[in-house]
Chains A and B, each alone.
Chain A
C-alpha cells in the first residue's frame, strides 16, 4: 500500500512517499537524508516520540524542572508516561542530564533533567 507521510526528524519536513506491506517498508522516496529513511521504517513498525514535560519541584529555585525521555518512547505510551510524571516531585538540587526516574515505566529509557536546578 502506498501512502504519504511527513518526516518530523528536522525542521525541513520532507514529504515521503512510502510503500509498505503492513509493518514492512518496501520502498520510499522523497527523503533528503538517512534520518528520513530510519524515521519511515520506525514509523511503520512502531511509532516513537520523545517525551518532554516538566515535573514539580519543592525547595528548588524554579517551581518546575523540565525533563525528557533519554530516548523516544512508543507513541501509545505517552499518556501513561504523563500520568506517571505527575507523581514525581524533585526535592534535591540536580545537574543537567541527571536521571530523575531510571527505567521509566519499564520502557528501558530514563527520565532526565534538561537543566540544572539549585536550592531556592
Chain B
C-alpha cells in the first residue's frame, strides 16, 4: 500500500493493487499487538490500526484499483502478469511491477528437530493467526522454539489466553528479537528463556507429550549430561522467515539461494529492470515502519522507471 501510494504521489496515473486475502493489510491484520507506527505515524498503533490508516488512503485514491482475493500465478520478464480472482483468470501487461509478497515461515521440517510427528506443532505465525483471527487456542501447555520477535510475542499472547508457556528455547547466545519484547513478553509473565539450548527431540504419538531440551556449547554441540524434558502439548516454531520470490524467479530474476532474496545492488531492485521487490520480499525487516519507508522508495523508483520526474 505504501508503494502504491508513493507511486501515485510521484505521478503514476494507473496503479493496480493485487491482494490475495479478502482484506488489505497482509500480515498486519494478525499482528494485534502494539508497537507499530512510532516512526511513521509518531503514535503507537497495533498492526490492524497501522494497516487501517493505509487502507483508508488507498481506498480514497481513485488512481489505485484494488483487487482483493486475487492471486498472482504468473509473471514474465516482459511484465505480463496473470492472476486468479473469484470467477476469472485475468491477464494484464504492466509497465512496471512491484512485488510486495512478504515472507513465509520456516517450519519444523526445515530445522533438525528429531522425534515423532504428532499433532500440536505449529509455526508461530500460523498460531498467531489462529489465536488472533480465528479464535482457536492451539493447546494448554506450550514450548516455543526460537526467540525471534514472533516467538516472543506469541509467548505473551498465549500466556494472556491462559496457556501455560513452559519455556522459550533459543540456540544462540542472545535472543534474536527486540530487547523490549524479551522484557514485556517474557519477563512480565515469568516465562523462562533458555539461551544456548536446543530442542533435541519431540515426543508424542498422536499429540505432543513432551520435548527434550539440551544445552549447547559455543560450537552448538550438545553439552553431555545437560538434558532435561518439558511436558507440553504444543510446540510453536519461530525460527525465521523466507522471502517469497517465486514470481520473480518465474520471470527469470536472479535469486540468492541462501536467503531467497533478489540479487540486486541496492534495496528494492531486482535483476530485471522495472520489476521491484519491497518489504519482507526484499529483505526481512524487524520493524513495519522501515518496511513502509523503503516501500515508499520502491514506489518512487517505479515512477522514475516509468519516466516520471523525481521529486525536487
Interface residues of A (CB under 8 A from B): 5-11, 13, 15, 49-50, 52-54, 56, 61-64, 66, 68, 75, 78-79, 82, 96, 114-116
Decide if B256 is an interface residue (CB 8 Å cutoff). no
Q: How far is the CB of A95 from chain B (nearest CB, A)?
A: 10
Q: How far is the CB of A103 from chain B (nearest CB, A)?
A: 21
Decide if B223 is an interface residue (CB 8 Å cutoff). no
The CA-CA distance from A63 to B23 in the complex, in Å, is: 13
- Tell me which residues across on chain A come within 8 A of B22, comparing CB atoms: 61
The CA-CA distance from A56 to B34 in the complex, in Å, is: 19
The residue of chain B having its C-beta at the shortest distance from the C-beta of A11 within the complex is: B178
Contact in complex: A54, B180 (CB < 8 Å) = no
A54-B52 in contact given A6-B180, A64-B134, A82-B161 (Cβ < 8 Å): no
Contact in complex: A116, B52 (CB < 8 Å) = yes
Contact in complex: A66, B32 (CB < 8 Å) = yes
Decide if B200 is an interface residue (CB 8 Å cutoff). no
Decide if B46 is an interface residue (CB 8 Å cutoff). yes
Contact in complex: A62, B133 (CB < 8 Å) = yes
Contact in complex: B162, A82 (CB < 8 Å) = yes
Q: How far is the CB of B35 from chain A (nearest CB, A)?
A: 7
Contact in complex: B134, A11 (CB < 8 Å) = no
Contact in complex: B49, A63 (CB < 8 Å) = no
- Tell me which residues across on chain B come within 8 A of A7, comparing CB atoms: 180
Decide if B51 is an interface residue (CB 8 Å cutoff). yes
Question: Can you report 8 residue pairs joining A to B where beta carbons are below 8 Å apart?
Answer: A6-B180, A8-B183, A8-B184, A10-B180, A11-B286, A64-B133, A66-B47, A96-B49
The number of chain B residues touching the other chain, given as a range, is: 20 to 34
Contact in complex: A11, B133 (CB < 8 Å) = no
- Tell me which residues across on chain B come within 8 A of A66, comparing CB atoms: 29, 32, 46-48, 132
Q: A-facing mask of B27-55, CB < 8 A → 1, else 0?
A: 00100111100100000101111011000
- Tell me which residues across on chain A come within 8 A of B135, comparing CB atoms: 54, 56, 63-64
CB contacts under 8 Å to A, within B279-312, are 286-287
The residue of chain A having its C-beta at the shortest distance from the C-beta of B30 within the complex is: A66
Q: How far is the CB of B195 from chain A (nearest CB, A)?
A: 16
CB contacts under 8 Å to A, within B199-217, are none
Question: CB < 8 Å: which of A5, A13, A115 contacts B48?
Answer: A115
The residue of chain B having its C-beta at the shortest distance from the C-beta of A62 within the complex is: B133
The residue of chain B having its C-beta at the shortest distance from the C-beta of A55 within the complex is: B135
The CA-CA distance from A114 to B184 in the complex, in Å, is: 21
The residue of chain B having its C-beta at the shortest distance from the C-beta of A96 within the complex is: B52
Of B22, B48, B133, most A-chain CB atoms within 10 Å: B48
A11-B38 in contact given A96-B52, A115-B49 (Cβ < 8 Å): yes
